[in-house]
Structure 1
Amino acid sequence: MLFHEIYSTYFQTVAKILTEAVDHPLTSGEIDSIVREYAFDESTLNIPESLGIAHWKLLKEDGTTILKKKPTMPLTILQKRWINAVALDPRIRLFTDHPVTFPDVEPLFLPEDISVFDQYLDGDPYEDAGYIQNFRLILDGIRHQYPIQITVTNRHGKRITTKTIPEYLEYSEKDDKFRLIGTGSRLGNTINLGRITSCEKCESQKGEKVGKRNLPRPRKVIFELVDDRNALERVLMHFAHFEKQVEKIEDQKYQVTLHYDKEDETEILIRVLSFGPMLRVVKPAAFIHLIKDRLSEQKSCGL
């Protein structure tokens, strides 16, 4: 927590009180009002008292402060080094062309110092100019809630154009990819940003109706695993953001029921296959057929 000790709620609140006290004497009511606005109700019991003569001696009894100038909170060297390190992450360019950096200090760490375990290598092209442009327009659409028109290349190489109202972005650390969650697209609620080839603001026409969010299509897959080499822990972490139930059926043998939406089926399929023989899917038959088809497709491609 590099920024906690200086930029926490309490420090910000105290700084606000002292800033006001430099301009004019504060009444106890004004101090309590500032505390309630910037901190928590219970903070009115300790912050005003701590500022007084008995403790920090920053506020006098008449509501004035011993400070002559308004307080500032400069960054520490450690914080500057952390910011410099974050600025080296290629994903920071998705938000700005000119990230804040401090030339007087070295980065706290370099990208090559980070080793991410169990992450796919085909992440999104964060340094691609077209990807950056699409990301920023989508982000602006989320902030201002206007529809956008996107063109997507599907897995078969076919280009599809659709409209959607962007709601939010999801990032998968394991996949190293962003996904757009939106409303009204005939492609579904979820669209991988890496598949978007073009993106533009869609001017709403009078009387034009926006499509509704696609209804959820709940699915589930049931598989068994033997808890060898922390297999159970790895599976639970791998599928942490999905609803699931785990049942112990034998010594070190477990059955996992995983719930997901139809839109996530391809992702679930790939993740299940990534565990190889550690998992054995028992239900449903349709998912088992998907596995067979996927393996046959990989074999025909020489993978």
Structure 2
Amino acid sequence: MIFSEFYGVYYNTIAAILTEAVAHPVFEQEMKRIIQQYAFEESKVTIPDAIRDEKWQLIKKDGTTPIKNRPSMPLSTLQKRWLKAVFCDPRVRLFGEMQFDFPDVEPLFLPSDVIIFDQYNDGDPYQDPTYIANFRLILDAIRKKYSLDIVVRTRKGKTARYVMAPQYLEYSEKDDKFRLIGADERFGCTINLGRIMSCKPCGETFEPGQEKRIVPKPRSVVFELTDQRNALERVLLHFAHFQKTAEQIDESRYSVTVYYDKEDETELVIRILSFGPMIKVTAPQSFVDLIKQRLIHQKSCEH
């Protein structure tokens, strides 16, 4: 709402008309052209009428304006405070060096004021110089369509090398991590940016559609849900960003199917286990086995 193009459209339109009127008289035909460019279709009726009747006293009947200088659109105090709050987020710096400050205002809020429920604490190192450099290079490669030579550290502590065509970046609020989605000559791949050890251009360019990324078929898990203590509402909210279906079995039980990518499988296991006995996984058997392995591991850690 603060920077809404809909709620600010009349200000921007009138500012454009006044900019022309400062230089030369503006008549109805030119006004309609400007209005069509900046405002809504119905505004071609309301704005000229308001100007013609001098309700706003900005444009005279002869098309001139009493304003001497071109209008500017200064930021309001609320807008400054909002921007200052946004730039307190270290992730903003990933997209480039944007130097600005409003010393006359305080941030509308601070990062410490925002609490994201159930977010992991091992997010990406957004203030690390190497991470920032890798992020900006990847972003440039996505925009300019060139390939990258990337060395990553695997979960087992080993290194792996990819020569890939980056396609897009994906952010997980749950993990607080960025992932790079791309393709090499044989198949598609996903890389966590926090695991990248080195990243450099490899000199090859590619055209859209040239990459041979194979989009993996989404996996699914089916579980029965017992609607106790408002469990159904909590489950639907908890899995809100996953594609899913829910079917009522009886008065208090539901069958829920959640579709997910392979990279999210471990996270999904943890989330399902967090609901305890209110959720029972029924299919596929491979996911049931993952649940069992997780429980056995947790029990062994207790001892």
Q: TM over 0.5, yes or no?
A: yes
Tell me the residue number matched to 2:17: 17
Q: Which runs of 5+ in 2 are unaligned?
A: none
Q: Which residue of 2 aligns with 1:161?
A: 161
Partner of 1:146: 146
How much identity, in percent, do the aligned residues show? 57
Where do 1:74-153 residues align within 5 Å?
A: 74-153=74-153
How has the CA–CA distance of structure 1 residues 300 and 144 changed in structure 2, closer, same or farther, with 3 Å as cutoff? Answer: farther
**Does the 8 Å CA contact 1:162/1:187 hold for their aligned counterparts?**
no
CA contact (8 A) 1:223 1:283 kept: yes
How far apart, in 1, do the equivalents of 2:281 and 2:66 lie?
71
Q: CA deviation at 1:288?
A: 1.0
Corresponding residue of 1:286: 286
Distance 1:183 1:40, change over 3 A: farther
User: How far off its partner does 1:185 sit?
Assistant: 7.0
- Alignment partner, residue 67 of structure 1: 67
Once residues 144 and 88 of structure 1 are traced to their aligned partners in structure 2, the CA distance between those partners, rounded to angstroms, is 29
Contact 1:223 1:255 in 2 (8 A): yes
**Using the alignment, how far apart are the partners of 2:185 and 2:152 within structure 1?**
11
For the residues of structure 2 that align with 1:198 and 1:186, how far apart are their CA atoms?
Answer: 22
Instruction: Decide whether the 8 Å contact of 1:58 with 1:65 is kept in 2.
Output: yes
Instruction: Name structure 1 gaps, 5 residues minimum.
Output: none
Cα deviations across residues 80-117 of structure 1 (Å, max 9, x unaligned)?
22222222212122123444221122222222222222
Confirm or deny: 8 A CA contact 1:87 1:100 kept in the other structure. no
Deviation by residue 1:124-168 (Cα, 9 ceiling, x = unmatched): 111111111111111112222222222222221221111222222
CA contact (8 A) 2:187 2:212 kept: no
TM-score computed with the length of structure 1 as normaliser: 0.88
String of CA shifts for 1:244-268, please: whole Å, max 9, x gaps: 1111112232211112234443343
Query: Aligned-pair distance for 1:205?
Result: 7.5
- The 5-angstrom pairing of residues 1-303 of structure 1 reads 1-4=1-4, 8-184=8-184, 188-204=188-204, 211-299=211-299
1:149–1:163 contact (8 Å) kept in structure 2: yes
* Preserved contact between residue 227 and residue 252 of structure 1 (Cα < 8 Å): yes
User: Given that residues 218 and 261 in structure 1 are in contact (C-alpha distance below 8 angstroms), is that contact kept between their aligned partners in structure 2?
Assistant: yes
Is the partner of 1:147 in helix, strand or coil? Answer: strand
Deviates more, 1:42-51 or 1:14-23: 42-51
CA 1:178–1:52 in structure 2 vs 1: closer, same or farther (change >3 Å)?
farther
Query: In 2 relative to 1, CA 169–43 (structure 1 residues): closer, same or farther, beyond 3 Å?
Result: farther
| 3-state SS of 1:130 partner | helix
TM-score by length of 2: 0.88
Supply the distance in 2 between the matched residues of 1:155 and 1:30 (Cα, whole angstroms): 63
270 and 151 in structure 1: CA distance in 2 versus 1, 3 angstrom threshold: farther
